[in-house]
Structure 1
Amino acid sequence: MVSQEFTVDLNKPLVFQVGHLGEAYQEWVHQPIVSKEGPRFFANDFLEFLTRTVWWAVPTIWLPVVCWCLSMSIQRGNTLPRLALMAAAGIFLWTLIEYTLHRFLFHIKTKSYWGNTAHYLLHGCHHKHPMDGLRLVFPPAAAAILCVPFWNLVKLIATPSSAPALFGGGLLGYVIYDCTHYYLHHGQPSKEPAKNLKRYHLNHHFRIQNKGFGITSSLWDIVFGTLPPSKSSSQSN
């Protein structure tokens, strides 16, 4: 097949190339290139700018929103104990969302031109260039769009006074997730549990990429049977 013979030119913008790989895309994208120098995505400078996000933008932008959500819950008559409970429930709910998105969306198998292109933008680029520090956290504009359906979901399952606290807790869980994810790639933890968590995540990148989908914890990998074999996990760095 022609698609199998296509070769990606790493010296040119990648996004509109990877779709041509067809069925060979999955193998290509899971062969990481370990370099802190990220590739060019688009020839257009504005589109290229939108793909790059510094890690500290995540807490800077979203923590004030978290605080606003929690204060809104108080204003609607929520008590402090219930506020803390709902916020904790939101964080816990996020860990399940984190796992589900990573396993079933970020690791979806694609082979069509636009399927490969969309996957590369969503998560494939991170597996191909795992040390690209400017494409590790989620761009705020994209996160804002995704907040809309999650807010609508929260409104369905919570009371008007508790919904902001539950959503705020979930958003806080996301901030913790994205900052943790960045640290696992670029930090040098010397103590547990961070050291083990870094080993666990790099094992997902460089050894067993179809297991170990948890980022902030391995809880849901244990629950759903996607925990990597201990031998491989212990050998990774």
Structure 2
Amino acid sequence: MVAQGFTVDLNKPLVFQVGHLGEAYDEWVHQPIVGKESPRFFANDFMEFLTRNTWWVIPLVWLPVVCWFVKISVNMGLSSPQLAATMAAGIFMWTLIEYTLHRFLFHIKTTGYWGNTIHYLLHGCHHKHPMDGYRLVFPPAATAILLVPFWNLIKLLTPQIYAPALFGGGLLGYVIYDCTHYYLHHGKPLKGVSNKLKRYHMNHHFRIHDKGYGITSTFWDRVFGTLPPKSGEKLR
């Protein structure tokens, strides 16, 4: 595709090309390529390897960590009802984090070379190639880096006995989110909540990308007024 005199060659590694699109990047990245092929990001094989991840790695890596944090709170004397309530609060907290990151970080508009490049790595690649099954979930190494400030913030704001369980609940919410996200793209739910969520999320990808930021729920879209218009209503 030609943009501002620059052509992105889809047959070559993409990451260091997209920055040259400048102001045309936002329009380019939201014109999805529906095929299931996984495009090449980097010429370097090791860098390319780091960008690829299968969905089952997420629960395999993070569910033991969830259990470990929960066990810390239990060992400090947190009762079963307190544990359940604290973990539920952590999952609910994650839904707000999920919405906030998706709306304000993943969909930030960039125009500069490095801004476009970083955005493409962070989320733009998912909108350009929404069916790429190897780049649907977040690499564990990157997640681990992001978890450090969240854990420190929770320790600062939460009583010691509750902090690990709250963090564990939030991390469990993340695992549910990433696995749900993969299923919405590659699963085939025929009815029920999962079918509605799939249609809701595909609407975000293929119809109106600046609405419908929720993945596991539409709750925060309702709260903050970012529900997409229904079919037949005028897009704003």
Same fold (TM over 0.5): yes
- TM-superposed CA distance for 1:172, in Å, is 0.2
Counterpart residue number, 2:114: 114
Aligned counterparts of 2:216 and 2:193: Cα–Cα separation in 1: 11
Given the two structures, how large is their TM-score scaled by the length of structure 2? 0.96
- TM-superposed CA distance for 1:20, in Å, is 0.3
SS at match of 2:192: coil
- TM-superposed CA distance for 1:80, in Å, is 1.1
Give 1:123's aligned amino acid: H
Q: Indicate whether 1:229 and 2:229 are aligned.
A: yes
Give 2:151's aligned amino acid: W
Counterpart residue number, 2:43: 43
Counterpart residue number, 2:172: 172
Mapping for residues 25-174 of structure 1, pairs under 5 Å? 25-174=25-174
Residue 114 to residue 52, structure 1, CA distance change in 2 (3 Å):
same
- TM-superposed CA distance for 1:35, in Å, is 1.0
**Contact 1:23 1:110 (C-alpha < 8 Å) held by counterparts:** yes
Counterpart residue number, 2:215: 215
1:177-218 CA-partner distances (Å, limit 9, x unpaired):
000000000000012100000000000000000000000000
Given the two structures, how large is their TM-score scaled by the length of structure 1? 0.96
Aligned counterparts of 1:133 and 1:23: Cα–Cα separation in 2: 28
Aligned counterparts of 1:220 and 1:152: Cα–Cα separation in 2: 25
Give 1:134's aligned amino acid: Y
Counterpart residue number, 1:198: 198
Aligned counterparts of 1:96 and 1:214: Cα–Cα separation in 2: 9
**Contact 1:207 1:232 (C-alpha < 8 Å) held by counterparts:** no
1:137-157 CA-partner distances (Å, limit 9, x unpaired):
000000000000110111122
Structure 1 residues without counterparts, runs of 5 or longer: none
Aligned counterparts of 1:78 and 1:26: Cα–Cα separation in 2: 48
Question: Per residue, is there more helix in 1 or in 2?
Answer: 1
Give 1:36's aligned amino acid: K
- TM-superposed CA distance for 1:76, in Å, is 1.3
Aligned counterparts of 1:121 and 1:214: Cα–Cα separation in 2: 20
**Contact 1:87 1:165 (C-alpha < 8 Å) held by counterparts:** yes
- TM-superposed CA distance for 1:230, in Å, is 1.5
Give 1:130's aligned amino acid: P
Aligned counterparts of 2:3 and 2:207: Cα–Cα separation in 1: 26
Give 1:49's aligned amino acid: F
RMSD: 1.2
- TM-superposed CA distance for 1:3, in Å, is 6.8
Counterpart residue number, 2:14: 14
Aligned counterparts of 1:70 and 1:232: Cα–Cα separation in 2: 47
Structure 2 residues without counterparts, runs of 5 or longer: none
Residue 213 to residue 49, structure 1, CA distance change in 2 (3 Å):
same
Which portions of structure 1, spanning 4 or more consecutive aligned residues, are displaced by more than 4 angstroms? none
Give 1:19's aligned amino acid: G
Number of matched pairs? 232
Aligned counterparts of 1:7 and 1:27: Cα–Cα separation in 2: 14
Q: Which moved more, 1:40-49 or 1:147-156?
A: 147-156
Give 1:174's aligned amino acid: Y
Aligned counterparts of 1:135 and 1:203: Cα–Cα separation in 2: 19
Aligned counterparts of 1:227 and 1:148: Cα–Cα separation in 2: 32
